[in-house]
Chains A and B, each alone.
Chain A
Amino acid sequence: MIRVSSLTKSFDGFVAVDRLSFELKSGEVLGFIGPNGAGKSTTMKIITGFLAPTEGSVTIFDQDIWRTPLAAKRLIGYLPEGAPAYGDMTAAEFLRFIAEIRGFSKQQRSEAIDRVVAALDLETVLGKRIETLSKGFRRRVGLAQALIHDPRVLILDEPTDGLDPNQKHQVRELIRGLSKEKIIIISTHILEEVTALCSRVIVIANGRLLTDATPAQLEAHSRYHRAVTVESREPALGEKLRMLPGVQAVEEDQVNQRYTLIPVTGQEILPALNQRIASEGWAISQIHVEKGELNDVFRQLTTGEAA
């Protein structure tokens, strides 16, 4: 279990993290989201023991990261932002170095390295120097390093940043496939990642916790939650749709002839719409119900903009 209690970090009067508290249990995957400069990376640096908090504490399975740093750090696998590594080493040398520091015996070391190399498909680059690797491979070497001791806690600062869609998919699959016993914290500003991976979301801005919820709860805050999108070539459909009961507003996409019906909060609009379609005989080419857009909620939460 990770317990973060009223964590505060200030740099020369600037408060980067402001009384942040939360707890995570084994099996939870936390998406840590917020605008740039919100304090995500700083929080992760404190949790992993790189920075000292100005106030507050962090315990990792009852080990205080500041009082018993070595015991706590042994439990954590960490991928810092940008996946830094020693560029002049080959991937194999680098992983061996990390395994040595992590205290593996020779026998265990090669087993551990083989395991992460297989998991991240690194066979082809083992002999290459890290500085010559592509961004995607460098990120994967960084992940391999974080996973080498099969840690109970995995902290990944923007693990898919700068990867192409295939690589993103691969990294997500990997994270999803990790043991259900782990605690995983992922910071990201790719919100689809949160929906795809996380069981819990914490939104922070200006160092303060704004929301602590599940992705589904967060989506429910969106004005697009349970909105219905209709695609049709019927003329002047927008006006007619606006008249339906329970519809608050209609957004028209002229190019694709697509209409998004936004419900009055808590109202179902699909049944009434279905009836109307049947009675009027509208030709509808597509219809679906929206779950809500996290991007929309994110903007609403972090800028106070009405969504």
Chain B
Amino acid sequence: MSATTIVMRRELASYFATPLAYIFIVIFLVVASVFAFSVGNLYEMGQADLLNFFNFHPWLYLFLIPALAMRLWAEERKTGSIELLLTLPIRLHEAVLGKFLAAWLFSGLALLLTFPIWITVNYLGDPDNGIILASYLGSWLMAGAFLAIGSCMSACTSNQVIAFILTIVICFCYVVAGLPLLLNFFEGWASQPLLDAVASLSFMTHFNAISRGVLDFRDLLFFVLMIVGWLTATAIVIDMKKAQ
């Protein structure tokens, strides 16, 4: 077993050692359903797809994923166990990756547990299950990107609340990057290439493309690169801030 797997398993087990895992999953399912049915009018649309379910995922993740990610490193730092972990014969990137994978698998589990919604639309109609599968994949990748950001913010501080708030702020920027809300701010003074660059960072744009069934390799790659980039930043931050 590789060090990454061992760290991941330990981390996953610790989610379930406390009520955290169960609370997270229950809230995730409740909020996801409320968004889909009450706000998104999944029934009333009369369409056999899950577009209105997935549309709310960026907003759902915005608050729930930071709660999952905030303890990743902040807690290690607070209790001092980071010193134990990093003096064991493992590499820093294995520790970073192991912890991230645990949180990512866990968010994947929460996502999988929304399957009754998928069964419902299949019972009521004849949806394009290929699109739904792609949307699930896209949603999971987006959760990964949120988590990687959260992992980096958690590495910056030993205070989980600070990690939580910083993650929300940064994730919010990524979510709204493609929306008029943020673009209006840049319009007028920023050049068009900069404007395009900001807009291209939008989680919303990339995720919506995937969930509409336009499975473009570049959209998937975007989230993968986000994960790799922010995890690399996590490792750098940990290395720099170890002494504190």
Given contacts A88-B14, A89-B17, contact A101 B90 (CB under 8 A): yes
Q: How large is the interface on B (under 10, 10 to 19, 20 to 34, 35 or more residues)?
A: 20 to 34
Cβ-based interface call for B181 (8 A):
no
Cβ-based interface call for B86 (8 A):
yes
> Which of B3, B17, B81, B87 sits near A76, CB closer than 8 Å?
B87
> Which of A11, A80, A102, A129 sits near B89, CB closer than 8 Å?
A102
> Which of B6, B7, B83 sits near A50, CB closer than 8 Å?
B83
| Complex Cα gap A145–B85 (Å) | 11
Asked whether, in the complex, the Cβ of A87 is within 8 Å of the Cβ of B86, the reply is no
| Complex Cα gap A45–B242 (Å) | 10
Asked whether, in the complex, the Cβ of A88 is within 8 Å of the Cβ of B84, the reply is no
Asked whether, in the complex, the Cβ of A88 is within 8 Å of the Cβ of B18, the reply is yes
| Majority secondary structure of chain B interface residues (helix, strand, loop or mixed) | helix
| B160 vs chain A, min Cβ distance (A) | 14
Q: For residue A93, which residue of chain B has the nearest CB?
A: B13
Residues of chain B within 8 A of A129, CB atoms compared: 17
Asked whether, in the complex, the Cβ of A100 is within 8 Å of the Cβ of B6, the reply is yes
Contact with A along B5-24 (1 / 0, CB 8 A): 01100100110011000000
Cβ-based interface call for B88 (8 A):
yes
| B93 vs chain A, min Cβ distance (A) | 12
Cβ-based interface call for B79 (8 A):
yes
| Complex Cα gap A180–B109 (Å) | 51
Residues of chain A within 8 A of B13, CB atoms compared: 89, 93
| Complex Cα gap A100–B3 (Å) | 8
Residues of chain B within 8 A of A88, CB atoms compared: 14, 17-18
Residue among A76, A82, A86 with the most chain B CB within 10 A? A86
Asked whether, in the complex, the Cβ of B6 is within 8 Å of the Cβ of A97, the reply is yes
Contact with B along A42-56 (1 / 0, CB 8 A): 000100111100000
Cβ-based interface call for A81 (8 A):
yes
Contact with B along A268-281 (1 / 0, CB 8 A): 00000000000000
Asked whether, in the complex, the Cβ of A101 is within 8 Å of the Cβ of B81, the reply is no
> For chain B residues 55-89, which have a beta carbon within 8 Å of chain A?
79-81, 83-84, 86-89
Cβ-based interface call for A127 (8 A):
no
| B4 vs chain A, min Cβ distance (A) | 11
A-B contact pairs, 16 of them (CB 8 A): A11-B243, A48-B87, A50-B83, A50-B86, A50-B87, A69-B89, A73-B89, A74-B89, A78-B84, A78-B87, A88-B17, A89-B14, A97-B6, A97-B10, A98-B88, A100-B6
The 4 A-B pairs with the shortest beta carbon distances in the complex, nearest first, are A84-B80, A73-B89, A88-B17, A80-B83
